[in-house]
């Protein structure tokens, strides 16, 4: 397993996989500077699609809306999810196991089924498609990830400093704020990032629950891909890729590994989904 | 942590908001999905409660297109999962074992970077790459491969796009398992005279099973339930079972029938996943590997 040929073959496979993942992305950045309306050749350099994106395009407002919406969902998910992970530490093991099963339902069930069942629920109570429905739908989809990531920190951490602080006279609130919170902060951050990205991207839930005629970025991109090629979409893709690169570099500088961000490895207890 | 003997501790009440959300937004909707499978009309606010019927269920069992699409979706999900495993296993091995240790986390960051962009934009960029007159076909034309037709708007495109979307998950799962296998264990096995094949089947493969299993679950289930990808790139004959369910809600508005179809999908997927877990557990025991 350690012969030179074998290692070379494995490395070649890795590079092929990386090329497969990145060629479309590089191509789209390349085409975002192409003048032809429908992305054909010959290639003529231009930056006019970026100008379009920042002036007349409806993509940018949708992107900004999606971003604000994702932040709102994330904040609520992190607060509620952290409290949940904290409370879970005080469950009996048997009850914790049962709770975990229910907690993982939104992860296991295909998003489409979740979205449809929520649409039924909201139609039933008379709300139907609305921003509130969409908010709750996205919240329930990301909440388990936050809980699992924060719970992973609790499982890994040493709980004795909390008892020590309480013994030395700190109020329960103070213990939580000064001792517990700093220890679980990396888990909260990872959960928050996960929630933010999932909300920003979640097409399926938004497609079924958004008010008729309104658009988030994913639903707008979906509609526009179906209608025709639009060059400002290339420009937006290029910008989003750039932002992603910056975010990923920042996160790795902060000491996050890929596994800890996606909720795998480390102290994570997400056994086989 | 679990020192006290009493069953209830007040701090556990902090889980109540999440428990409430899970109850109202997951458990109850799922029950409603089941109940709605037996409803004869659509439900809208202010209208009287629809009556009960078995029509949706019988219609589902007699619907040839539904079962055909179901078989097709499960087939596509299997193909996509297998391609992902075939591509991800060597790649994850390379990152976990061959790349210099200090570069490993960088490579993994490169693998998950596409996840930080938008899923739809990824699909869009792949569509643009492979379309007629796109970069790929133009490049192939330029190097002398002529007469290629685009995969776009065929089932092949659906498979390609789904592999593209879900490959990073598989790599991530396999990487975390493979990384945990100590080099000394592999060395020991080889030094003690086991062949390379035997080292793989007896050491590496069993130890990678947990990662492989979560990878299969993370890829197979969403792929089987996908409807957006076939709708965008699959063309006229590209429908999957998700597309048919979607039609009941976005076009023909037949909530009860749609609910019945999704219930059946959910049940079939659960059974498949339970089987996968069962066989993985058995394989693990048979080979004698320990879960990492």
Indicate which CATH number applies to the domain containing A94. Answer: 1.10.3720.10
pLDDT of residue B177: 87
Is the residue at A7 inside a domain? Answer: no
Is the residue at A244 inside a domain? Answer: yes
Q: Which of A17, A141, A184, A212 to mutate to test the interface with B (most CBs of B within 10 A)?
A: A17
Residue B270: pLDDT band (50, 70, 90) is: very high
Is the residue at A74 inside a domain? Answer: yes
Q: Is A13 on the interface with B (CB under 8 A)?
A: yes
Share of chain B above pLDDT 70, in %: 93
Residue B148 confidence (pLDDT) above 90: no
- The rounded mean pLDDT for chain B is 85
Is the residue at A10 inside a domain? Answer: no
Residue B114 confidence (pLDDT) above 50: yes
Strand partners, B52: B39
**Which residue has better confidence, B25 or B54?**
B25
Distance of CA B164 to the CA centre of its chain: 12
Low-confidence ranges of chain A (pLDDT < 50): 1, 265-273
pLDDT of residue B27: 93
- The answer to whether the beta carbons of residues B59 and B201 sit under 8 Å apart is no
Query: A2-11, A110-119, B136-145, B250-259: which range is least confident on average?
Result: B136-145
Which residue among A13, A147, A257 sits closest to B94, beta carbon to beta carbon? Answer: A13
pLDDT of residue A273: 31
Is the residue at A39 inside a domain? Answer: no
pLDDT of residue A146: 93
Query: A93-102, B6-15, B204-213: which range is least confident on average?
Result: B6-15
**Which residue has better confidence, B163 or A31?**
B163
Is the residue at A37 inside a domain? Answer: no
> What part of A 206-245 touches B (C-beta under 8 Å)?
207-208, 217-218, 221-222, 225-226, 229, 233-234, 236-237, 240-241, 244-245
Residue B211 confidence (pLDDT) above 70: yes
User: Exposed e or buried b for every residue in A151-160, given b needs 16+ CB within 10 A?
Assistant: bbbbbeeeee
Residue of chain B with shortest Cα separation from A100: B19
The mean per-residue pLDDT over the stretch B257-268 comes to 92
Domains and CATH numbers, chain B: 20-287 (1.10.3720.10)
Is the residue at A6 inside a domain? Answer: no
Is the residue at A128 inside a domain? Answer: yes
Residue B292: pLDDT band (50, 70, 90) is: very low
Residue of chain A with shortest Cα separation from B230: A226
Residue of chain B with shortest Cα separation from A109: B266
Domain with A184 in it: 61-261
Residue B289 confidence (pLDDT) above 70: no
B172–A258: do the CB atoms touch at under 8 Å? yes
Q: How many separate domains does chain A show?
A: 1
């Amino acid at each position: 397993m350690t012969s030179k040929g074998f290692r070379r073959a494995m490395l070649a496979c890795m590079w092929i996989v990386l090329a497969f993942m990145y060629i479309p992305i590089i191509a789209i950045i390349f085409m975002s500077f192409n003048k032809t309306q429908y992305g054909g050749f010959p290639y003529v350099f231009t930056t006019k699609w970026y100008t379009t994106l920042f002036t007349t395009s409806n993509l940018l407002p949708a992107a900004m809306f999606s971003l604000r919406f994702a932040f709102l969902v994330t904040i609520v998910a992190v607060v509620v999810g952290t409290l949940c992970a904290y409370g879970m530490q005080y469950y009996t093991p048997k009850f914790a196991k049962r709770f975990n099963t229910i907690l993982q339902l939104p992860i296991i069930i295909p998003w489409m089924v979740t979205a449809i069942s929520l649409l039924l629920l909201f139609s039933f109570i008379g709300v139907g498609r609305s921003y509130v429905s969409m908010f709750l739908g996205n919240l329930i989809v990301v909440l388990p990830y936050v809980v699992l990531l924060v719970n992973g920190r609790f499982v890994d951490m040493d709980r004795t400093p909390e008892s020590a602080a309480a013994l030395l006279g700190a109020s329960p609130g103070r213990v939580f704020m000064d001792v517990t919170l700093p220890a679980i902060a990396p888990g909260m951050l990872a959960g928050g990032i996960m929630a933010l990205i999932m909300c920003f991207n979640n097409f399926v839930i938004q497609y079924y629950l958004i008010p008729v005629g309104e658009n988030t970025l994913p639903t707008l991109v979906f509609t526009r891909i179906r209608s025709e090629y639009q060059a400002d979409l290339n420009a937006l893709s290029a910008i989003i890729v750039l932002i992603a690169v910056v975010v990923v570099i920042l996160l790795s500088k902060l000491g996050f590994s890929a596994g800890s961000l996606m909720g795998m490895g480390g102290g994570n207890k997400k056994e086989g989904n | 942590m679990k020192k006290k003997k009493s069953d209830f501790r007040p701090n556990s009440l902090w889980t109540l908001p999440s428990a409430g959300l899970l109850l109202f937004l997951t458990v109850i909707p799922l029950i409603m999905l089941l109940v709605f499978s037996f409803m004869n009309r659509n439900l809208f606010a202010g209208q009287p409660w629809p009556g009960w019927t078995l029509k949706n269920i019988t219609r589902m069992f007699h619907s040839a297109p539904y079962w055909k699409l179901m078989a097709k979706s499960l087939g596509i999900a299997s193909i996509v999962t297998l391609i992902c495993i075939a591509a991800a296993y060597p790649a994850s091995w390379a990152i976990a074992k061959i790349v210099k240790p200090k570069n490993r986390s960088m490579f993994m960051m490169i693998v998950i970077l596409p996840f930080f962009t938008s899923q739809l934009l990824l699909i869009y960029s792949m569509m643009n790459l492979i379309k007629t007159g796109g970069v790929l076909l133009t490049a192939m034309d330029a190097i002398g491969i002529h007469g290629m037709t685009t995969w776009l708007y065929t089932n092949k495109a659906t498979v390609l796009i789904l592999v593209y979307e879900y490959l990073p998950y598989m790599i991530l799962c396999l990487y975390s398992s493979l990384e945990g296998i100590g080099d000394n264990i592999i060395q020991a096995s080889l030094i003690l005279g086991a062949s390379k094949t035997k080292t793989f089947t007896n050491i590496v493969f069993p130890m990678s099973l947990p990662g492989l299993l979560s990878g299969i679950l993370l890829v197979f289930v969403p792929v089987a339930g996908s409807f957006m990808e076939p709708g965008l790139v699959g063309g006229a004959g590209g429908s999957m079972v998700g597309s048919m369910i979607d039609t009941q809600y976005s076009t023909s508005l037949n909530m009860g029938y749609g609910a019945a179809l999704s219930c059946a999908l959910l049940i079939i997927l659960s059974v498949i996943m339970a089987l996968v877990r069962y066989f993985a557990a058995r394989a693990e025991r048979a080979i004698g590997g320990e879960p990492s």
